[in-house]
Amino acid sequence: MAQTATPAPSPVPDVVPAPPARRRTTPSVAAPGPRAARVLSNVVLVVVGLCFLLPLGWIVLASLDASATLAVRLPERFTLENFTAVMTPEQTWVPLANAFLLSAGTGVITVLASVLAAYPLSRYRMRFNKPFLYAVLFGTCLPITAMMVPVYSLFVRLNLLDSLAGTTFFMAATSLPMAIWMTKNFMDSVPISLEEAAWTDGASAMTTLRTIVLPLMRPGIAVVFIFVFIQAWGNFFVPFVLLLTPEKQPAAVSIFAFFGQYGSVAYGQLAAYSMLYALPAVGLYVLVSRLSGGSFALAGAVKG
Amino acid sequence: MTATLAPAPVGGPGAGPSPVRRAHARRTAGRLVPMLPAVALLALFMLGPVVWSFYGSFTNAALTGPNALAPEWVGLDNYVALLGDPDFPKALWLTVLFVIASAVIGQNVAGLGLAMLMRSALKPVRAVVSTLVVTAWVLPEIVAAFAAYAFFHADGTLNSLLAGVGIAGPDWLFEHPMLAVILANVWRGTAFSMMVYSAAIAEVPPEITEAATVDGANAAQRLVWVTLPTIRRSISTNLMLTTLQTLSVFTLIYVMTGGGPGTDSSTLPILAYQEAFKFAQVGYGTAIATVMLVIGAVFSVVYIRSLKPEVD
């Protein structure tokens, strides 16, 4: 966040020693003075913050409440029973392990494929580049939700339904457009001169990619991997449609099943399960925003 | 892979065109080899379903029974049924309402407003509020949906707050399902717009704003005549991206209302899912999916053509 923002809004009254008459009239004729405006914007922000806090607060407080309801409130008795109740292998650990397999697999496949694809796009000027990148951008925009019904029938035909591997490859394919775009941008910032030296020494493109380019763009690779991982971790609809056996389903789907079965009675456990499932995503987001220097990096990457 | 590539990099990029056309073509082909895994994945799992969607929408494919294994070609029957089905125009209208109210207006205005307010806010206020806003966005979709469900439920937080001031709140999820899901989507998605606009506003040269202030422009005039025109590119990018994201929102609505009561909050993604999997009409659901893909594709093409994001 730009800390430089603070002095910017009111440079006239503070910095410029303007005559007192001008100082008093100019702002007050048009709008409330800068100080009043500042107080007002802080108050508005606090109110907005409360609106955002209330739904989030329910998850945290209900997970610690022995007799949780749907309304947010301080627990009469704090307890960790909700957590111990859901922390069983079949309830939480297996679905979380499935989610990890699915997300890590998706991340690895996506990063490998997008690094390989980004290299020629970044290093060679080819007539093919422009149409391909536009096609990739187009793919980034396509609503994946709209595709799920045809994907289901395609998976029936390919005999991939209820297959973790098939689902992983599908999720990798859907995250590829964005990943190729990001990886190419990261790769473009690695100077080409180092590789040219290696090329004249007879190294192949794949060798220079592995020994020179990849080590230099390690943070970029990590950002892409985590970005894809978080998306896959949070994805509900795709595994919901493509994975049928409960033993194979990731946490997103099994938590929905839990909601359907016990959601109307065990709110505390639902909230506790939600916390366990959400924490890795939140933690990884904090990590990725550190890696890419600020929380706006993801939005910037999305902007292209 | 390395074998085919070996002759490729000798000249390196920027080297003059090879005298022999054939060799040039072969070199280009060799350079494209590393792209094969990505192209294969995209062709199979992105292009494949799109093509399949168009094909499947002309069949009477079903979830079970004989039509599941050997769907018959039914021509335009699904599309004719679509036009005759009162649920379809309703879902289309609800989708438009959802996108315009929650993305185009809600997320964009709230995001821009927050980004502006953050600039004159105290540091701790800014840090805490932006963390809260971003947390709603970072949470897995289904957890956010649970939180919104608990908030708008008849016995939920909103009604207990209203009861605190003596108002008996309605059952939001049943009486005003669209309002509830629209507000929930604003809550969940505003962070993205806020981040895009914060980054954009930070790049507005302060001299311009200062000059306008000296000329006597008030805050509202500065916003309309200085800030907004300067960040218009970010605005249109953000409008398109939030529109496309919101167009495909499924989980939030599915968890909160299930598309109900009846079909009162069934947007197109929910309707396609219900027709295909609840009523087992896969062909019909595919036709709805195809309509959605076409809408999404039109938006994407408009976005790419009008904004021309720099390729290269």
Q: Which residue has the higher pLDDT, A29 or A97?
A: A97
What is the rounded average pLDDT of the residues B207-227? 86
pLDDT of residue B193 exceeding 90, the answer is yes
Closest chain B residue to A227, measured at CA: B138
Domain check: are A11 and A155 in the same one?
no
pLDDT of residue A277 exceeding 90, the answer is yes
CA dihedral A304, B5, B8, B14 (to 10 degrees): 10
pLDDT category at A238 given cuts 50, 70, 90 is: very high
| Domain regions of chain B by residue span | 2-56, 86-307
The residue from A30, A46, A79 where one domain ends is: A79
Domain check: are A74 and A99 in the same one?
no
Give the whole-angstrom CA distance, residue B108 versus residue B252: 19
- The DSSP element (H or E) to which B287 belongs, if any, is helix B282-307
The residue from A28, A61, A79 where one domain ends is: A79
CA atoms within a 13 Å half-sphere pointing along the CA-CB vector of A142: 27
Sole residue written with tokens 């775009």: A181
Answer whether B162 touches A (CB < 8 Å). Answer: no
B157/A70 Cβ within 8 A: yes
Domain check: are A169 and A213 in the same one?
yes
pLDDT of residue A216 exceeding 80, the answer is yes
Closest chain A residue to B56, measured at CA: A150
Average pLDDT for chain B: 85
- Rounded to 5 degrees, φ, ψ at A78 are -75, 140
B192/A299 Cβ within 8 A: yes
pLDDT of residue B14 exceeding 80, the answer is no
pLDDT of residue A228 exceeding 80, the answer is yes
Q: What is the DSSP letter of A213?
A: I
pLDDT category at A218 given cuts 50, 70, 90 is: confident
What is the rounded average pLDDT of the residues B91-112? 94
Going by C-alpha positions, the residue among A235, A227, A234 that lies closest to residue A297 is A227
Average pLDDT for chain A: 82
Q: What is the pLDDT of residue A33?
A: 64
Least confident interval from A112-116, B174-178, B300-304: B300-304
Q: Which domain holds residue A278?
A: 84-303
Domain check: are A7 and A125 in the same one?
no
B302 contacts in A (CB within 8 Å)? Answer: none
pLDDT category at B66 given cuts 50, 70, 90 is: low
What is the rounded average pLDDT of the residues B32-41? 90
Please answer whether residues A242 and A162 qualify as being in contact, where contact means their C-beta atoms are separated by less than 8 angstroms. yes
Q: What is the pLDDT of residue A17?
A: 36
pLDDT category at A179 given cuts 50, 70, 90 is: very high
Domain check: are A25 and A113 in the same one?
no
B288/A149 Cβ within 8 A: yes
The residue from A57, A79, A101 where one domain ends is: A79
pLDDT of residue B7 exceeding 70, the answer is no
Domain check: are A153 and A176 in the same one?
yes
Domain check: are A266 and A137 in the same one?
yes
| Identity of the residue numbered B156 | G
Q: What is the pLDDT of residue B2?
A: 36
Q: Sort residue B75 into left (φ over 0), alpha (ψ -120 to 50) or beta.
A: left
> Who among B121, B202, B248 is closest to A2 (CB)?
B202
> Who among B9, B221, B248 is closest to A204 (CB)?
B9
pLDDT of residue B56 exceeding 60, the answer is yes
ipTM of the complex: 0.84
Dump pLDDT digits (tens) for B131-154: 999 999 999 999 999 999 999 998
A144/B5 Cβ within 8 A: no
Give the whole-angstrom CA distance, residue A149 versus residue A222: 32
Least confident interval from A125-129, A150-154, A164-168, B40-44: A125-129
Least confident interval from A10-24, A125-139, A264-278: A10-24
Give the whole-angstrom CA distance, residue A112 versus residue A99: 20
B150/A267 Cβ within 8 A: yes
What is the rounded average pLDDT of the residues B53-61? 84
Give the whole-angstrom CA distance, residue B127 versus residue B139: 18
Give the whole-angstrom CA distance, residue A262 versus residue A223: 37
Domain check: are A62 and A159 in the same one?
no
Q: How far apart are the first and last CA of chain A?
A: 19
Choose the mutation target among B2, B26, B46 for the interface with A, i.e. most A CBs under 10 Å. B46
A137/B304 Cβ within 8 A: yes
Give the whole-angstrom CA distance, residue A86 versus residue A81: 9
> For chain A, what is the domain count?
2
pLDDT of residue B195 exceeding 80, the answer is yes
As its CATH architecture, domain B86-307 has Orthogonal Bundle (1.10)
pLDDT of residue A24 exceeding 80, the answer is no
Which CA distances in Å does A20 have to A23, B219, B240?
A: 5, 21, 47
B110 contacts in A (CB within 8 Å)? Answer: 48
pLDDT of residue B203 exceeding 90, the answer is no
Q: How many residues does chain B have?
A: 312
Q: Which residue has the higher pLDDT, B133 or A139?
A: B133
Give the whole-angstrom CA distance, residue A62 versus residue A76: 11
Domain check: are A190 and A156 in the same one?
yes
What is the rounded average pLDDT of the residues B53-68? 77
pLDDT category at A293 given cuts 50, 70, 90 is: low
Beta bridge partners of A65: A78
> Who among B38, B118, B133 is closest to A52 (CB)?
B133
A205 contacts in B (CB within 8 Å)? Answer: 5, 8-9, 31, 34
Q: What is the pLDDT of residue A75?
A: 85
Answer whether B8 touches A (CB < 8 Å). Answer: yes
Please answer whether residues A3 and B121 qualify as being in contact, where contact means their C-beta atoms are separated by less than 8 angstroms. no
Dump pLDDT digits (tens) for B256-286: 998 878 889 999 999 999 988 888 888 888 8
For the entire predicted model, the pTM comes to: 0.84
B139/A267 Cβ within 8 A: no
Encoding tokens for residue A226?
Answer: 């985590």
pLDDT category at A274 given cuts 50, 70, 90 is: very high
Domain check: are A36 and A162 in the same one?
no
Encoding tokens for residue A52?
Answer: 């955002």
Give the whole-angstrom CA distance, residue A222 versus residue A183: 10
Going by C-alpha positions, the residue among A283, A63, A52 that lies closest to residue B134 is A52
Choose the mutation target among A16, A144, A145 for the interface with B, i.e. most B CBs under 10 Å. A145
Going by C-alpha positions, the residue among B272, B301, B238 that lies closest to residue A139 is B301
Q: Which residue has the higher pLDDT, A220 or B309?
A: A220
